[in-house]
């Protein structure tokens, strides 16, 4: 777990998950140093201690005013309740479905939530954050966001990449081939429904992101990418519907792996 600055007013709190046999995946949360500071997602559940330490190196958690929860997967909610308990001024931006799902595990206090749907905005003092439904996602709760001041698109799981080598801090430091292959593969895993989409409809979804003209793309699972890389990112996604479908190791493969380990 470490931090780096992606833009003058945005820090990344990041760790790397090694997915055995498939590569390395960044798990990012972001601090937007807005007039009302915003934390986008809260790290993985099992790394909460490390996350809180890393977060404190870029902002006093008591100064945070908002958590933008892009969705409720275990790699995004790790320190959610801990932060809410420590800071009575924090509110969680999520959706009706997000509140519902959290209610099955650890309910969110209703006076601490702020519900948004795609297209709706939140004023955080010096900028407006608008909820954006990314073109690929693994959870119907998903809402990324566009920051009108910095021009950055926070895309949640969309545009993530499984990378063979160590995860750098800039997407531009990954070779074009490795980035494209890693992004396309990740999307076949994370958004396997893309194989069944109407190609023209999907192309218009990609156009919707293109029209935002983001200055940067900050994905939960990709090193920070400059806006100039957008066409490469969109190109990798465009390949997904016709890419080989992901099929995970089955029981026979698992037993072979275990035999290899014990052997
Ligand atoms: Fe997810
Ligand atoms: Fe994720």
Q: What's the predicted TM-score (pTM) here?
A: 0.97
Structure tokens belonging to residue 168: 């750098």
97 CA distance to ligand 1 centroid (A)?
14
Of the ligands numbered here, which is closest to the C-alpha atom of 44?
A: 2
262 CA distance to ligand 1 centroid (A)?
33
Considering all CA atoms of the chain, what is the largest pairwise distance in Å, rounded to the nearest integer? 60
236-260 pLDDT, tens digit each: 999 999 999 999 999 999 999 899 8
Distance CA(171)–CA(223), nearest Å, equals 5
- For 4, list phi and psi in degrees, rounded to 5: -150, 160
Task: Write down the mean pLDDT value for the chain.
Answer: 97
263 CA distance to ligand 2 centroid (A)?
34
5 CA distance to ligand 2 centroid (A)?
20
251 CA distance to ligand 2 centroid (A)?
25
Distance CA(97)–CA(89), nearest Å, equals 23
74 CA distance to ligand 1 centroid (A)?
8
Domain residues for the domain of 43 are 2-262
- pLDDT bracket for residue 215 (50, 70, 90): very high
pLDDT at 263: 67
Number of domains forming the structure of the chain: 1
Question: What CATH number is associated with residue 88?
Answer: 3.60.15.10
Enumerate residues with CB within 5 Å of ligand 2 (an ion).
75, 157, 220
Of the ligands numbered here, which is closest to the C-alpha atom of 159?
A: 2
Average pLDDT over residues 89-103: 97
21 CA distance to ligand 1 centroid (A)?
20
Contacts of 200 (CB under 8 A, 6+ apart): none
pLDDT at 20: 82
């Amino acid at each position: 777990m470490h931090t780096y600055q992606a833009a003058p007013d945005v820090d990344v709190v990041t760790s790397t998950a090694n997915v055995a046999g498939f590569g390395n995946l960044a798990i990012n949360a972001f601090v937007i140093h807005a007039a009302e500071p915003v934390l986008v997602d809260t790290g993985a559940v099992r790394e909460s201690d490390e996350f809180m330490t890393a977060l404190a190196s870029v902002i006093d958690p008591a100064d945070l005013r908002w958590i933008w929860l892009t969705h409720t997967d275990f790699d995004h909610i790790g320190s959610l309740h801990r932060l809410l308990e420590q800071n009575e001024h924090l509110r969680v931006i999520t959706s009706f479905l997000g509140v519902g799902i959290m209610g099955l595990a650890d309910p969110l206090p209703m006076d601490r939530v702020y519900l948004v749907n795609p297209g709706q905005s939140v004023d955080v003092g010096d900028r407006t954050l608008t909820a954006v439904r990314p073109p690929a996602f693994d959870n119907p709760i998903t809402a990324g966001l566009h920051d009108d001041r910095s021009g950055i698109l926070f895309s949640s799981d969309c545009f993530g990449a499984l990378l063979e080598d160590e995860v750098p801090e800039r997407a531009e430091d990954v070779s074009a081939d490795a980035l494209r292959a890693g992004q396309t593969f990740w999307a076949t895993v994370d958004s396997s429904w893309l194989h069944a989409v109407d190609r023209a409809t999907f192309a218009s979804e990609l156009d919707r992101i293109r029209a935002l003209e983001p200055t940067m793309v900050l994905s939960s699972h990709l090193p920070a990418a400059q806006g100039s890389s957008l066409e490469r990112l969109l190109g990798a996604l465009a390949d997904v519907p016709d890419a080989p479908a992901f099929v995970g190791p089955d029981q026979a493969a698992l037993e072979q792996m275990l035999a290899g380990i014990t052997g």
